[in-house]
Amino acid sequence: MQKPLILVTNDDGISAPGLRALVRLMNEIGDVVVVAPDSPQSGMGHAITLDNMLYSKKVRTDQPNTEEYSCSGTPADCVKLALQELLDRKPDICISGINHGSNSSINVIYSGTMSAAIEAGIEGIPAIGFSLCDYSWSADFGPGSAAIKKIVMEALENGIPRGVVLNVNIPKLKEEEIKGVKVCRQARANWKEKFDKRTNPNGKEYYWLTGQFELLDKGEDTDEWALAHGYISVVPTQFDLTAHHAIQHLNNWNLHG
């Protein structure tokens, strides 16, 4: 039987330790093609390149049996380019990550990791974004690796509902401390942000974005609750942004008078 074709991408760049760990895991499951940014693209969301040239080149990495490409664009660009130009058949699944840092709750809006997965989902390809709640470049991606393989294999066997991608976050814990996997909803939260105004050595003012994460949700069925209590969180995320519950309310407005 033909092995599943797995497209792997990320937003931290093709040399990021999280991506390298993910590639090694996916090589145990299927045939892997990597298309990832040539430099870090964190926080890019679903940005795409429109007014610049887009470059891609085949690269050699630590996996000799894996076909890998670096791309000058964003995570969403990487998926678009892979599907339109670089792959000779449609991938069975797209896996994005492993991100250095959490993409739980409201962070999914800003995440290049999840936007790459969403781009694949838009094209009808099952997709999962994986993130580790550890921003360190030297983070340990070993804990949770068994769960990553299990989630991907379950997705390949059972499918993911059309219009849905999975947002998976792994707590920063030792393997024996991880209690299991919970399917959750996205917690309600936001960032209380401010700009730190500074002056460079030439006397020119600039701003540095800072902020504090504010959890506004006390529910015990959320991703934030699961992560805080030692579980890997799996949130089914949809990219149809229609607020269906608000349609009737808007239909009561006098929009035609």
pLDDT score at 60: 85
Residues 6+ apart with CB under 8 A from 205: 197, 198, 199
145 Cβ neighbours under 8 A, 6+ residues apart: 21, 25
Helices (H), the chain: 17-26, 75-81, 112-122, 145-158, 223-228, 247-251
Q: Sign (positive/negative) of CA torsion 174, 143, 157, 123?
A: positive
pTM of the model as a whole: 0.93
Output the six-digit token pair for 149: 């393989």
Query: Mean pLDDT for each consecutive 10-residue tract of the chain (257 residues)?
Result: 92 95 96 94 88 92 86 96 95 97 93 96 97 95 96 97 97 96 95 90 92 89 96 96 94 87
Report the pLDDT value the prediction gives residue 40, as an integer from 0 to 100: 85
C-beta separation of 78 from 40 below 8 A: no
Residue 137 CA to residue 160 CA, distance in Å, equals: 31
Structural domains of the chain, ranges and CATH numbers in brackets:
5-188+219-251 (3.40.1210.10)
Q: Per the structure block, which two tokens stand in for 152?
A: 């991907």
- Which residues does 141 contact at the CB level (< 8 Å), separation at least 6? 17, 18, 21, 22, 98, 132
Element (H, E) at 11: none
CA-closest candidate to residue 19, choices 53, 62, 71: 62
End-to-end Cα, the chain, rounded Å = 63
| CA–CA distance, 109 with 78 (Å, rounded to integer) | 18
Q: What is the pLDDT of residue 192?
A: 87
pLDDT of residue 30: 95
Cα separation, 221 vs 70, in Å, equals 38
